[in-house]
Amino acid sequence: MRLDVVTIFPEYLDPLDVSLVGKARARGLLDVRVHDLRDWTRDKHHTVDDTPYGGGPGMVMKTDPWGDALDDVIADGYEHGATRPVLVVPTPSGEPFTQDRAVELSRQPWLIFTPARYEGIDRRVTDEYATRLPVRELSIGDYVLAGGEAAVLVITEAVARLLPGVLGNAESHRDDSFAPGAMAHLLEGPVYTKPPTWRRRGIPDVLLSGHHGNIARWRRDEAIRRTAAHRPDLLRRSAPDAFDKKDRALLTALGWYQDQDGHWQPPAQDAP
Ligand code: SAM
């Protein structure tokens, strides 16, 4: 997979040399290219922003540096044999970045990121490239960062670990919280490793039992408990037939009930 990032803070992307993403780069699974947007400015101050039309606080990133940079990056990618670029625009006004979106992006051969600063990029840039490329405007959460570089790091790490050959154990992400395809969207429950006792704290007996069925049941119960406590919205959205008899007994014991459509609803005092 090829990744291009255009930014006014190339050094902010240095963590892409480290850990999982860094190893994927070293092994040739990821071709990451970080570009300084200011290389495409034409004035001696390397200006990338200007005042907003209509007034108001803050500055807006200018069309020309972005347009020239993206034209060159796209042309360079094609020259090097890359195909089908997807433009990934981090923005708090984008659709939520989820595990499903990570899976979708991990299947693309080439991603081009446009992390912005100030109040964002002049809208015409996204509109222009949307006529030629698929564009994904993505938010990594309901908060506002000072710039999109941290969002690029988040999205890249979530995508890179899904690429074939990146994780040592290909099964590792199958049971992740939010793994798509799971009938119910459950968070992953607690995990433990050696030693069996730490500061007089043991681990659940069932994990030492060697009984795979009981272990799977315990893991699922813990996942349901955790999801009910932290993300009741995920349980409420799950299809009613996603839950087996033991799931239903646990949800009932936790005070959940089924509405007219069969969807599970939290106890009245927990309802969002
Ligand atoms: N005024 C903009 C708004 O409210 O939509 C916020 C601009 S923010 C200060 C500057 C840049 O940081 C954004 O253009 C985007 O690239 C990035 N950014 C901030 N919060 C983000 C989030 N939650 N997800 C993805 N990118 C974000």
Residue 142, CB-side half-sphere exposure with 13 Å CA sphere: 0
CA distance 266 to 34: 46
CA distance 240 to 261: 8
Pocket perturbation via mutation, ligand 1, pick of 144, 153, 155 by most ligand atoms within 8 A of CB: 144
CA 117 to centroid of ligand 1, rounded, Å? 7
Residues 4, 33: contact at Cβ < 8 Å? yes
Residue of the CA atom closest to atom 2 of ligand 1: 119
Residue of the CA atom closest to atom 6 of ligand 1: 119
Please tell me the predicted confidence (pLDDT) of residue 184: 77
268: left (phi over 0), alpha (psi -120 to 50) or beta: alpha
Q: Which amino acids bring their CB within 6 angstroms of ligand 1?
A: 90-93, 115-117, 119-120, 139-141, 143-148, 151
Q: Which residue has the tokens 């708090």?
A: 92
CA 235 to centroid of ligand 1, rounded, Å? 29
The SS3 call for residue 150 is helix
- Rounded to a whole number of angstroms, the distance between the first and last alpha carbons of the chain is 40
Please tell me the predicted confidence (pLDDT) of residue 185: 84
Tell me the per-residue pLDDT of 159-170, one tens digit each, with 9 for 90 and over.
Answer: 999 999 888 776
Q: Which residues are catalytic?
A: 92, 119, 161, 176
The SS3 call for residue 37 is helix
Q: Show the low-confidence residues of the chain (pLDDT under 50).
A: none
CA 155 to centroid of ligand 1, rounded, Å? 14
Residue of the CA atom closest to atom 3 of ligand 1: 92
Please tell me the predicted confidence (pLDDT) of residue 100: 94
CA 56 to centroid of ligand 1, rounded, Å? 17
Pocket perturbation via mutation, ligand 1, pick of 88, 89, 123, 145 by most ligand atoms within 8 A of CB: 145
